[in-house]
Amino acid sequence: MTTSRISGFYNMSIEERRAKLVEALALPTPPDLGAWTSGGISAEAADHMIENVVGMHSLPLGIALNFQVNGKDVLVPMTLEEPSVVAGASFMAKLARAGGGYQATTTDPLMIGQMQVINVTNLNEAKLKIYEKKAELLAEADTIDPILKKFGGGARDLEVRIFNDSPIGGFLVVHLIYDVRDAMGANAVNTACERLAPKIEAITGGKVHLRILSNLADRRIARARCTIPVNELAFDNFSGETVRDGIIAAYAFAAVDPYRAATHNKGIMNGVDSVVIATGNDWRAIEAGAHSYAVKNGEYTSLSTWGKDADGNLVGTLEMPMAVGIVGGATKVHPAAQAAVKLMGVKTASELAEIIVSVGLAQNMAALRALATEGIQRGHMSLHARQVAIAAGATGEMVEKVAAQMVVEKVVRIDRAEEILKSLSGK
């Protein structure tokens, strides 16, 4: 890739934007952006993905610009319906470039498979018996996916937990820790748990009831940080220090109040989910993992942190589970997802996770900056106004005219849009 900064991208036509993407990538075989024209999948293919298919439901796909992750420029596809998210993330990425962009890391791609063991006479004895057979059980789990094993994945560890009190009494939970490499890992882990279940039953004398992956992927963490020079934060009548302190104060609110943290983290997920969806990954799993991770210390809190360094610059961090893959599932079946992965140039699931967590941090900053300064509605309003204008029946150049008048009036409602449209069209 030459650069993720494309001047005037917002004002281009869709065809011009696609041409610019191909130009910026400088790849011998650029991604098939045509897959994004009609949703990227046929009815026949969809019929093989889920049940009772009657059609497709499309969402807008935009490109976040200016991102630099671990020193590399990247164009980021984002699929969502909410206005201002793509623009907000792109602008924050532009500010972050002045401080070196985003630095991101990931842990090993370890997923947890859970086996619930019920009807056990002596829980402590059964726990020790499982540990005595640990090596044998891991060796068995390692034989399940030879291809995954070939690429360095496979069973890594076995843990046993005792729950003495539950609505059904005491039971054991066996955790199989499994390295899934570049896959999301659900199928591999679930298969491994199914394979081990009879052996666990033989060892414990109990019954393996549930055996399934956990979406609290707290062994598979992605982290991102950025430093924004304080002078880059200044705009209009707001000094850099004012913006910085406002962002930090807004973060502090989310850090101590679950009611605020829920919306704060939703803003993070605006960025995260949109890239996850664009690449054909399971955004429900990512959401579940993120929010359960946010309460790991006993109270729901912010996934991100914001503060300042010794030089007074704004410093942000984000840490969260990130169970995404680039092999298997919709990522390999859906042409639009394939184009998204190719656009980013990622070769591993870890690279994808690092980009996603960086986008989450950028979007978080965009929301906090707006809240701490001019208010969330100013930037959001103009984009929302266009949607309302279209809903009122505006087409072509009328969309912008109706939207602009509603923004000036600070009244963005469909009834007012209808009145303005009627007035402008002379009807």
* Catalytic status, residue 264: no
Angle CA 79–229–83, to nearest 5: 20
* Catalytic status, residue 82: yes
CB 77 within 8 A of CB 278: yes
Kind plus residue range of the DSSP H or E element containing 315: strand 314-321
Which of 16, 82, 125, 415 is catalytic? The answer is: 82
CB 142 within 8 A of CB 135: no
CB 91 within 8 A of CB 366: yes
Strand partners, 183: 327
Q: How many whole angstroms separate alpha carbon 386 and alpha carbon 388?
A: 5
Q: How many whole angstroms separate alpha carbon 117 and alpha carbon 210?
A: 8
Residue 312, classed as helix, strand or coil, is coil
Which of 127, 264, 291, 380 is catalytic? The answer is: 380
Half-sphere exposure for 152 (CA within 13 Å, toward CB): 7
Strand partners, 307: 315
CB 270 within 8 A of CB 80: yes
Q: How many whole angstroms separate alpha carbon 271 and alpha carbon 97?
A: 18
* Catalytic status, residue 380: yes
Which amino acid, residue 17?
A: R
Which of 149, 266, 342, 401 is catalytic? The answer is: 266
Contacts of 243 (CB under 8 A, 6+ apart): 233, 234, 235, 314, 369, 372, 373
Contacts of 320 (CB under 8 A, 6+ apart): 221, 222, 268, 272, 289, 290, 293, 303, 357, 360
Kind plus residue range of the DSSP H or E element containing 74: strand 72-79
Which amino acid, residue 189?
A: V
Half-sphere exposure for 425 (CA within 13 Å, toward CB): 16
* Catalytic status, residue 282: yes
Q: Specify burial of residue 202 (Cβ count, 10 A radius: 0-12, 13-18, 19+).
A: exposed
Q: How many whole angstroms separate alpha carbon 33 and alpha carbon 337?
A: 10
Which of 179, 282, 351, 354 is catalytic? The answer is: 282
Closest CA to 161 of 131, 188, 202: 131
CB 419 within 8 A of CB 404: no
Q: Which residue numbers are catalytic?
A: 82, 266, 282, 380
